[in-house]
Structure 1
Amino acid sequence: MTTPVIRTLDESSAHLFDTMPDPLGFRDRHRQTRYRPDWQRIAVRDGRTVARAAWWGRPEDPEPLLINWFDVAEGEEEAGAALLRTAPWPTDELELDLPAGWRSEVRQRAAADVRAAAARAAGYTPLVERFVYRWTADRSVPERPGRLLFTAEPDDTVFFDLLRRIHSVTLDAHARRAIEQGGPDRAAQQELDVFHWFPSPRAWWQIARTPGGETVGIHIPARNPSGSCVGFIGVVPEQRGHGYAYDLLAECTHFLVAQGARSIAAATDRTNLPMAAHFTAAGYPVVRERITFWSDGGVSAG
């Protein structure tokens, strides 16, 4: 067997990314995603593309944020791992967005296992499984319960303090990992960094309060490079048990629709059963199931 040739693409060779079968429907999943050709790589063996990966971020970013398209042909796990290991970008996170119910379909499960094995061989380990949702304009906008008041807040320190409180008791795997590594300050700062990374306006961030002035939580309506999304929903611990996360989600949806959104992406950990129930109640169907892999410090030998 010959050694695979690994190459980074450019404008003239970007079409080569589409020369692999697509058993997991990644093309449909990323139909709204715009990738930079120079953040796409393929591995070719004997004239056949046997692995491909696309790194994702804002067009103006100096480096990508994560890998969210990773394909590997059957039996080519090592080629897929080499494709990731030799990349010039030390990316911490890799996402496999799989079809909903993929475990019950034999061919999809086998294809997912190949890609997961290649990711592990490259140094990534599974962090969490998530439900991926998409609200579309053919669905009704969830009714506002009317229990909370929502206001903008220009001071980042207010959001930082609320994020520390929200993550002091959390089911979110990313936040828990950040807390293990650097405490609640690190978890809060990582969230703030993502909020600022969104290309949508800072003025969209909102705090929710009761009519009596008690702080309940925050919601972050956002746009990412692929479109509108629920950037964050969080309720402070002392206000939990009242279903307020649904109120925040409904308000976030209304806000984005008022900004012209025709579809809204969202995600939550599979283990976060309360939030998953709120998404279902708000009319957000599960469209994919995501496995998130993580590698501290990123995987790169480039």
Structure 2
Amino acid sequence: MRFRSVAGDDLGAVLDWNVTEPVVWIPADRYREESAAGRLRPEWTWVAEGDGGRVLARALWWGRSDSEHPITLDCLSVHPSVTAPATLAAELLAAGHRAFAGRGAAGPPSYNIMVPHDGPGGDRAAVTAAVAWREEAARCAGLTERIERYRFEWTPQAGVPAPSTRLVFTPEPDDEAFVAVFREVARGSLDQETLANVASMGEEAAARDDLEFYLDCPGERDWWRMARTPGGELVGFAIPSRTPYNPNVGYLGVLPGLRGQRYIDDILGEITRFHAGLGTERITATTDSVNVPMAAAFERGGYRVSETRVVLSAPAA
């Protein structure tokens, strides 16, 4: 078996590929679009070749257009003829991880296994099987940390929320003010990534990491808002943002002492109103499956689950 990245002139076998399992995958037309934008690249596209150069597995790592190294594994699949898909896939991932490390990557990219919410035909047994061997492969390749997330979507059919009568939203140009609220809302957070970052970095470094992440997103910095009562008391913040594909609910939070009063509904409503005011037809958002209050707020706000994501990553160093 040979494991290698592809060259620009031998993408044929990678593009001539079909996945019948109930997971989100990258077909040829999307690969070409992402490749043209620099988010999928030949050096991040890996295959396992059997006898005669037959492609038996492929792994497609994704990054932003300006990324030096890939950020996530977005598509992993094995030919149906392979009797031990997890074993072959794990070897393919390990080969890719070694190559990325050799080019200076700090650690292996995470892996997003994406499943449409209802699954094609509603066959939950098929979904479970498709996810199971992929999780096993990822664990064998060192991606042992697991988070399950829900992807939500809002469309205009859900209606635009009315303006808040309890909160006032104002610009805040001082990045340090956002570092301070990022630090505060992390206390008692139910978001698993936030908790992991605070545990590994400390509150201050995790808050600054959040700041840099959202500054680096395609959304505009002047979209960010602080949320206060009419009397001026700080309640939380709203960060409407964008992914490379859609407007999204970037980050929002309520200060710990003010939780439980559904201020999150007002803040989410403001983000929805902001994007809707720009004429968007779809707003996306994600939250961990264990963050029940946030998921409930999305549902109250007219967002519906479109996808479940299993996010697998290496333990923090």
The TM-score with structure 2 as length reference comes to: 0.84
Contact 1:209/1:215 (CA < 8 Å) preserved in 2? yes
Q: 2:307 aligns with which of 284, 288, 295?
A: 288
Are residues 1:57 and 2:63 paired?
yes
Q: Which residue of 2 aligns with 1:84?
A: 93
Q: Which residue of 2 aligns with 1:275?
A: 294
Quick one: structure 1 residues 118 and 18, their matched pair in 2 at CA, closer, same or farther if it must change by over 3 Å? farther
CA distance in 1, matches of 2:21, 2:247: 27
Quick one: structure 1 residues 251 and 72, their matched pair in 2 at CA, closer, same or farther if it must change by over 3 Å? farther
Higher share of residues assigned strand: 1
CA distance in 1, matches of 2:274, 2:155: 14
Q: Which residue of 2 aligns with 1:182?
A: 201
CA distance in 2, matches of 1:134, 1:228: 10
Contact 2:25/2:75 (CA < 8 Å) preserved in 1? no
CA distance in 2, matches of 1:145, 1:14: 53
Quick one: structure 1 residues 280 and 48, their matched pair in 2 at CA, closer, same or farther if it must change by over 3 Å? farther
Gaps of 5+ in 1: none
Please identify, of 122-131 and 69-78, the stretch whose mean Cα deviation from structure 2 is larger.
69-78
CA distance in 2, matches of 1:9, 1:83: 17
Quick one: structure 1 residues 142 and 31, their matched pair in 2 at CA, closer, same or farther if it must change by over 3 Å? farther
Please identify, of 183-192 and 11-20, the stretch whose mean Cα deviation from structure 2 is larger.
11-20
1:92 CA displacement: 4.0
Amino acid across the alignment from 1:221: P
Q: Which residue of 2 aligns with 1:119?
A: 138
Quick one: structure 1 residues 71 and 190, their matched pair in 2 at CA, closer, same or farther if it must change by over 3 Å? farther
Quick one: structure 1 residues 137 and 55, their matched pair in 2 at CA, closer, same or farther if it must change by over 3 Å? farther
1:15 CA displacement: 6.5
CA distance in 1, matches of 2:161, 2:2: 51
Deviations along 1:136-193, one digit per CA (max 9) or x if unpaired, are 2333223333211111111111000101100011111001111111221132122112
Q: Which residue of 2 aligns with 1:257?
A: 276
The TM-score with structure 1 as length reference comes to: 0.88
1:129 CA displacement: 0.9
Question: Number of matched residues?
Answer: 296
Higher share of residues assigned helix: 2
Q: Which residue of 1 aligns with 2:104?
A: none
Deviations along 1:184-219, one digit per CA (max 9) or x if unpaired, are 113212211210120221111111111111111111
Amino acid across the alignment from 2:261: H
**Correspondences of 1:29-40 after superposition (within 5 Å):** 34=34, 35-38=39-42, 39-40=44-45
Q: Which residue of 1 aligns with 2:103?
A: none
Give the 3-state SS of the residue equivalent to 2:242 in structure 1: strand
Quick one: structure 1 residues 296 and 18, their matched pair in 2 at CA, closer, same or farther if it must change by over 3 Å? farther
1:6 CA displacement: 2.9
Please identify, of 69-78 and 225-234, the stretch whose mean Cα deviation from structure 2 is larger.
69-78
Are residues 1:44 and 2:49 paired?
yes
Amino acid across the alignment from 2:47: I
Q: Which residue of 2 aligns with 1:24?
A: 22
1:16 CA displacement: 1.5
Deviations along 1:242-290, one digit per CA (max 9) or x if unpaired, are 1011111111111112223211111111111111101111111111111
Q: Which residue of 2 aligns with 1:69?
A: 75
